[in-house]
Amino acid sequence: MAGKAEGLSSAASGDASLIVIPREELHAFVVRSLEKVGAKTSHARDLADLLVAADYRGHFSHGLNRLEFYMMDLVTKFVAVDAEPEIVKQTVATALVNGNNLYGPVVGKFSMDLAIKKAREAGIGWVTCKGSNHFGIAGYYSIRAMEQGLLGMAFTNTSPKLVPTRARTQTLGTGPISVSAPANNGDSMVLDMATTVVALGKVEVKNTLQEQIPLGWGVDTEGKPTTDPKIVLGDGGLMPLGGAEETSGYKGYGLGLMVEVFCGILSGATFGPFIRNWALHDGVADLVSYMRKGKN
């Protein structure tokens, strides 16, 4: 845990087993770990910024918990090391970015900053990218715009883990969506959610803790609800936001499909069931981020 997540500290919680690590120490540890497996220092810092921010905001499934996955992407050479993101084409308010198979947070930050620049100049900035990888919590990017007085939106497609309504096969990703807006007196509105009932990382945490998942999170290979995290992480899958058809799960499925259109199809990247399983390191992901920034 970095700093104090959601205002939590060992003293406030009364939990003597809770260890609070200063943000600076955790950030330095992540940078050193990534450099050890060959990451460029600037890329390692971008990724460390993302992971520490996730832990600090209480998204423990997407913080330090993900470090091994990112390190393995370099060890197995499934992400590039020496390249940088590049603009393929652009207008005053839009752009298509090629991430050149770099770390998702590197590509995401580049795309976000480009969208912010365009929004300041044209009133709105729309940037989509291809050739990227897992970019962490979507809220990190929309908040980046919000902190500069802008409205921020960030979407991404992911490895297929969503089993659509009336289906039995993993077809779409968790389709993260984030929207952030500044408010008066230092307040803000931040929406950061998956288009599945939960993010896959929540199931991974339950599996690590050897706990069952709540009924309604995922399904087995027959498309029937299960409480076994191993089945969901295997050939089963996650339920769309809303759950079963009777509780409007098709709406979550529709949102996930929308994200796939904005991201994978619009950018010309890999999409839907053709995206590799991140945990297997068995191919290039070619994911996409979709960033929108507008003046408040």
CA-angle at 39, arms to 36 and 44, nearest 5°: 100
Instruction: State whether the Cα torsion 182-186-192-197 is positive or negative.
Output: negative
pLDDT score for 264: 87
Q: Is 14 helix (H, G, I), strand (E, B) or coil?
A: coil
CA-angle at 37, arms to 278 and 81, nearest 5°: 70
Q: How many whole angstroms separate alpha carbon 235 and alpha carbon 59? A: 25
pLDDT in tens for each of the 296 residues of the chain?
444 443 333 333 445 567 888 999 999 999 999 999 999 999 999 999 999 999 999 998 899 999 999 999 999 999 999 999 999 999 999 999 999 999 999 999 999 999 999 999 999 999 999 999 999 999 999 999 999 999 999 999 998 999 999 999 999 999 999 999 999 998 999 999 999 999 998 999 899 999 999 999 999 999 999 999 999 999 999 999 999 999 999 999 999 999 999 988 888 888 877 787 655 544 555 555 555 556 65
* Phi, psi for residue 73 in degrees, rounded to 5: -60, -35
- Of 217, 258, 224, the C-alpha closest to 239 is 217
Q: How many whole angstroms separate alpha carbon 238 and alpha carbon 173? A: 9
Q: Are the C-beta atoms of residues 105 and 135 closer than 8 Å to each other?
A: yes
In the block, tokens 């910024």 appear at 49
Q: How many whole angstroms separate alpha carbon 136 and alpha carbon 255? A: 19
Residue 2's beta-bridge partner residues?
21
pLDDT score for 296: 59
What secondary structure does DSSP assign to 240-276, as a single string?
Answer: BTT-SGGGTHHHHHHHHHHHHIIIIIHHT---GGGSP
pLDDT score for 161: 93
